[in-house]
Structure 1
Amino acid sequence: MNKSITIIGMPMDLGQMRRGVDMGPSAIRYAGIVERLQGLNLEIHDRGDIQIGRPEVVIDPDTKMRNLELVAEKSEILAKVVDKVIEDESFPLVFGGDHSIAIGTLAGVARHYENLGVIWYDAHGDLNTAETSPSGNIHGMPLAASLGIGHPVLTQIGGYSPKIKPENLVIIGARSLDVGERKLIKEKGIKVYTMHEIDRLGMAKVIEETIEYLKARTDSVHLSLDLDGLDPTDAPGVGTPVLGGISYRESHLAMEMLAETKMITSAEFVEVNPILDERNKTALAAVALMGSLFGEKLL
């Protein structure tokens, strides 16, 4: 894992309806992420936040998607920043914002690898399109868009599509999937560990299998961690909490095991919403998990 880390704040809330997630990068910084990573002898470059502004909500009349053009515009900016960070041989660490930011992150990362692997740590599949989405919220579509499925304005971010292959993807922690997402998972043969598998196998086995699966077919792995993957008791400050999630300790184990492999070359932590939080509990959890991901140990 790269010793040079570049932090990119992406305070975007355009992909969903609940205000406050744009404050996520600030909450994570306030929770002490820079100091935490510096304590691991890492070289930290914080390039601040990409400017999003306060645009009005626009619903596309044809697709009913919220803020389609705005999300695409900001995703292009993020993609270019992430691309440059990797060119400079630094590890891009992106703070959201809602999960629609992954469209830009993956567009910037994937151009550097032939077979980018993705670990999608999330309660949701984020595999919707305009046709299958119950809400029109783009934060439920970034994984589909990155697979080249959905509206071309989103799938063509960065000027190419797809960014990832379905066989190079592992979803961990799913417990809320829409009908269209379930159909797509089966059609594409996407590897998914729902909470049933996590409960039955244990997190250690799930991560062991994930590592073995991705090492055999990818040349790099991106981690996209949505804090709603954790149970709401451990991460209450998220926009779409789902009961019965991954525990704080299980998540630490997952990050610790991934750190040992040194296979993660880029990451994003998303959906921290301090307005919905309890004394910045969710941002503190995110910082602690990042510590484990970058090699922090008790002894």
Structure 2
Amino acid sequence: MPVRLLSAPWDSGVHDARKGAGPSALLRAGAADRLWARGSRVTRTALGPASDWQAELRTAFELQRAVARSAAAAHADGELPLLLSGDCHLTLGMVAALQGRGARVGLLWLDAHGDLDTPEVDPGAYLDGQGLAMVLGRCWQAATATVPAFTPLPEEQVVLVGARDLDPPRADVVHLHVDLDVYAPSIAPANGYAAPDGLPAADVLRIARQAAARVPVGSAALASYDPSYDPAGRLRDTALDLLEALASLPD
């Protein structure tokens, strides 16, 4: 498939420095050449803000609009838009371009950080720590509304993967709800609504323990177990193991 390789070498309003130096480094290292070598026709587009006055906020949202327009043009030309960006929040423009095609867009966001801060809770005022929050419509709504075709995504259409350096908890206690059909049906189906894949028992235990290490688990519930789907009692025993583990979580 032909590729439109977009580069936006900006970091917090500064050109080609820190993370903003990344796109240029990847291009110098042969990003386009690798795509050509695998048979893709590559068109390169360098993006920049529309104005010469490069204040961070103005530059950020001008770049989002530029990304959206360039990605939309790529789609219209039958090309796959691929973005090399210094700032994470520019993904909002890529989402907008997909929305402009009339598609219902899902977002898989892989990041060590949540990027879910908003100006009201971020004392460091780090705009790029607010990127996913922008996509979800939690902040900067007036500015993101200027990005062509952008509509905030519903949370059920977004998955955050890999986050491990998160902000301090914003809750004093957590309730842990476990629908037993979260487990892999290879253990045993929990009920008549069991879906393919699912989590191994060890992963569910690890999630519960990791949660308790950050915020006390004040209560928990195990739900939706239909024993007629578990004649050998395998999921029953898994649930009892979890129940025992929940009772021994740290306060």
- Structures share fold, TM-score greater than 0.5: yes
Alpha-carbon deviations, 1:246-266, whole Å to 9, x = none? xxxxxxxxxxxxxxxxxxxxx
1:93 to 74, 82, 96: 82
Q: 1:182 to 1:52 in 2, by over 3 A?
A: farther
Name the SS of the counterpart of 1:158 in structure 2: coil
TM-score normalised to structure 2 length = 0.61
Alpha-carbon distance in 1 for matches of 2:160, 2:16: 24
Alpha-carbon deviations, 1:93-149, whole Å to 9, x = none? 000112122222222232224321111111011111111223212111111111111
Alpha-carbon distance in 2 for matches of 1:159, 1:6: 19
Aligned residues: 176
TM-score normalised to structure 1 length = 0.52
Give the counterpart letter for 2:6 in structure 1.
Answer: I
Q: 1:75 to 1:175 in 2, by over 3 A?
A: same
Quote the residue 2:213 is aligned against.
none
- Work out whether 1:172 is the aligned partner of 2:161: yes
The residue correspondences of 1:260-271 to structure 2 (distance < 5 A) are none
Matched-pair contact (CA < 8 Å) for 2:16–2:24 = no
Q: 1:161 to 1:46 in 2, by over 3 A?
A: closer
Moved over 3 A (4+): 15-19, 52-58, 179-183
Q: 1:139 to 1:16 in 2, by over 3 A?
A: farther
Identity %: 26
1:22 to 3, 20, 42: 20
2:40 to 19, 39, 42: 42
Quote the residue 1:51 is aligned against.
48
- Work out whether 1:135 is the aligned partner of 2:133: no
Q: Which has the larger radius of gyration?
A: 2
Alpha-carbon distance in 2 for matches of 1:44, 1:182: 48
- Work out whether 1:145 is the aligned partner of 2:143: no
Name the SS of the counterpart of 2:147 in structure 1: helix
Give the counterpart letter for 2:76 in structure 1.
Answer: E
Alpha-carbon distance in 2 for matches of 1:25, 1:95: 5
Quote the residue 2:31 is aligned against.
33
- Work out whether 1:122 is the aligned partner of 2:111: yes
Q: 1:88 to 1:76 in 2, by over 3 A?
A: same
Give the counterpart letter for 1:128 in structure 2.
Answer: D
Q: 1:125 to 1:118 in 2, by over 3 A?
A: same
